[in-house]
Structure 1
Amino acid sequence: MNKNKLFRQIHIYISLFFLPLAFLYAITGFAYIAGFDGESGAKIQSYKIQAVIQEGAETDFLIDFLKKNNLKLPSSLEPKLNKEGNGIELGTINYTSSIIKIDKNNYEIITKDRSLLGNMILLHKDKGMWYFSVLGLAFALAMVILYVSGLLITIIAIRKDRGKQIAVLSAGFIITLIIAYLSV
């Protein structure tokens, strides 16, 4: 097999495999820049309660509250600190419930049932499970392989337009660097 055919095969099959993930990142990146976020379309319910809760018993209280009020239990009941660090959160990115201490005996319980777009944006931001992170890292590596193989196919195999190709590539580098510099 000659090297041009090998580079094309690598390029084609890697790009086909990662095409769905590329669309997910493109759609969610556009949506995020356009102002959508992980909370977009989410059904959020908030309950203010007064209770005396022993230190360390917040998780049990939250689960009991959800059961008594016929609210959905999260799929993961492993507690973790919320992103603000002022409460306990249960669940995954799709559905979470949390309890936040407001003051001495006042708490807020919040449930979030996220939309498909919200879930996808949070996956893009690496807030999902570790195995999606592995897929994202593999995609990043694939992007490097795809661009290197694409350059090799273009610059080596297609000689007649090499000057134009190098000019376009150079313009892309220059414009990207200038805009990046002006943006920070």
Structure 2
Amino acid sequence: MKSRTRLLWIKLHTYFSCFFLPLAVMYLSTGMLHMMDIDGGVRSEVQFEVPVPAGIPEAEDEVRALLLPLMAQHGQDMKLPADYYYEPKESYIGWYGYKGQVYFEPLEDPGKAILHVKKHDLWHQFLLIHKGHAGPVFWVLGILFGLSLLFSLVSGLVIAIAVPMFRKTSIVFTLLGAATLAIGIALSV
């Protein structure tokens, strides 16, 4: 590989790594702590019983029309998250997002429900960014970060193979990594 081409690979590797480093630190820390069941939690929660004489509707617009006046009446100014869920099997009707969640909990009396308004703490918000619940900006950044990570790893391999002194060792470690992945998959089934 010519030195000019190798320098280009090194520059791209460096710039992508520097740009995505803060996001990588956030993903690494939230992922590792999530594996240890440290997920953050709810900063504040308000719940109150509300009348729903016709029952809780299923359509998002109808639920929104019922819910927003109730929230305003009880002094809750939280903006509704973007993701609406209607899951009758789990009795979950509401919105869920990285900053919080707003949902109805049906009661035995079909004319009443409990309205929950939860605001997530900062650590839980980071975890939900990691899990893809933070809207389109973080979704796109997550995809770009994944592609950048793949590029950084491949460019690191290309640069290592281009240097004769690292070529054999780089290939051996790449094969060891592939074998470890295959063994892990085989043993996890």
Please give the per-residue CA displacement for 1:63-108, whole angstroms capped at 9, x wherever unaligned: 222222222x222477822566744424742033222333411212
Q: Secondary structure at the match of 1:111?
A: strand
Gaps of 5+ in 2: none
Say if 2:167 is the partner of 1:162. yes
Separation in 1 of the partners of 2:65 and 2:83? 10
Whether the 8 Å contact between 1:7 and 1:153 is mirrored in structure 2 is yes
* 1:151 maps to which of 146, 149, 157: 157
Separation in 2 of the partners of 1:61 and 1:162? 66
Gaps of 5+ in 1: none
The TM-score normalised by the length of structure 1 is 0.84
* 1:114 maps to which of 113, 120, 126: 120
Residues 138 and 83 of structure 1: CA distance in aligned 2, closer, same or farther (over 3 Å): farther
Separation in 1 of the partners of 2:36 and 2:169? 33
Whether the 8 Å contact between 1:48 and 1:106 is mirrored in structure 2 is yes
Aligned residues: 180
Q: Secondary structure at the match of 2:178?
A: helix
Please give the per-residue CA displacement for 1:17-60, whole angstroms capped at 9, x wherever unaligned: 111111111111112111133xx221333333444146464423
Q: How far is 1:134 from its partner?
A: 0.9
The answer for the alignment partner of 2:185 in structure 1 is 180
Cα RMSD over matched residues?
A: 2.5
Separation in 1 of the partners of 2:83 and 2:12? 43
- Sequence identity percentage: 23
Residues 82 and 119 of structure 1: CA distance in aligned 2, closer, same or farther (over 3 Å): farther
Residues 91 and 183 of structure 1: CA distance in aligned 2, closer, same or farther (over 3 Å): closer
Residues 78 and 133 of structure 1: CA distance in aligned 2, closer, same or farther (over 3 Å): closer
The answer for the alignment partner of 1:70 in structure 2 is 75
Q: Secondary structure at the match of 1:52?
A: coil
Of 73-82 and 112-121, more deviation after overlay is shown by 73-82
Q: Which aligned runs of 4 or more in structure 1 are off by greater than 3 angstroms? A: 48-51, 53-58, 76-79, 82-88
The aligned amino acid for 1:9 is: K
